[in-house]
Amino acid sequence: MNLTLGFSPCPNDTFIFDALIHHKIDTEGLTFDVVYEDVESLNLDAFASKLAITKLSYHAYAYAVEDYELLDAGSALGFGVGPLLITKDPELAAQLQQHLATGAELPAALASLKVGYPGKYTTANFLLGLAFPSLKNKQALVFSAIENALLEGTIDVGLIIHENRFTYQEKGLHKIVDLGDFWEKSTGCPIPLGGIVIKRSLPTSIKQKVNRLLRKSVEYAFANPKSAIEFIRAHAQEMEEEVMYKHIELYVNQYSIDLGVQGREAVETLFEKANSLNLIPKTEKKIFLS
């Protein structure tokens, strides 16, 4: 059976899926047509139900839950892995940090700041809304373009994800807040960033097989961490091997093998918070693969 599969070209995804799509493990008769896209494009594809299996943001999953179920394997969750809000101006960083610490509403001058972000339906944008709900002047950019937009002055603050968290300081940019840390302190849960979902319409046996194979793919990657290096390098925005593996170490962990009780609790907490703030549609569908 052949299935369409979408994931990002980022090192954590290529690391996770390498063994699966290159048949380094027994795929039990399944083959995959792979689509590589940035996370917001994958989110939009999920809304259109284009792919049988896809990576998406947990925030976006709330808008695709009618058509997809969440696999236990392949997720990006963790502590200290959240998106960063950054700026070129250290004085601006200090001002925003002060307002966040006090919980004071932003004055008009700060509320009108132009924010570069990686997409409306990213979990990063959801977290930004929790921390700074009055920052509404947003411009969607491909995640890899946000640092340069700050340096060029076309945006005032930028919301960065993926490997950019390892490169922004080298470019003279300054952290305002780690939004993952903000989430962790307010909930005690790891931050759910992205997960792997599969179409509800597929046979249960196929859905369970994909979950099992994806787990084996992650386990193979952990057991053979250099096996995927050429595949990872071919797709990575950042070519330095050290940065690529820092990225992988940050986003691929025990929750990528299996969400477990704590991982599932974190996802449920995200949905509950978003529902309480009327940020996502209500659903009666089960979130997790049965």
Enzyme catalytic residues: 162
Burial of residue 49 (number of CB atoms within 10 Å: 0-12, 13-18, 19+): middle
Query: At 72, which amino acid appears?
Result: D
Residues near 256 by beta carbon (within 8 Å), at least 6 away in sequence: 12, 16, 73, 74, 75, 76, 218
- The answer to whether 57 is a known ligand-binding residue is yes
- The answer to whether 56 is a known ligand-binding residue is yes
- The answer to whether 62 is a known ligand-binding residue is no
CA angle 157, 163, 165 (to 5 degrees): 45
d(CA 277, CA 279): 5
- The answer to whether 113 is a known ligand-binding residue is no
d(CA 129, CA 134): 8
SS3 242: helix
- Token pair for residue 10? 């980022």
Conformational region of residue 29, where left means phi above 0, alpha means psi within -120 to 50, and beta covers everything else: left
H/E element holding 3?
A: strand 2-7
H/E element holding 4?
A: strand 2-7
Q: Indicate the annotated binding residues for substrate.
A: 55-57, 123-124
Q: Indicate the annotated binding residues.
A: 55-57, 123-124
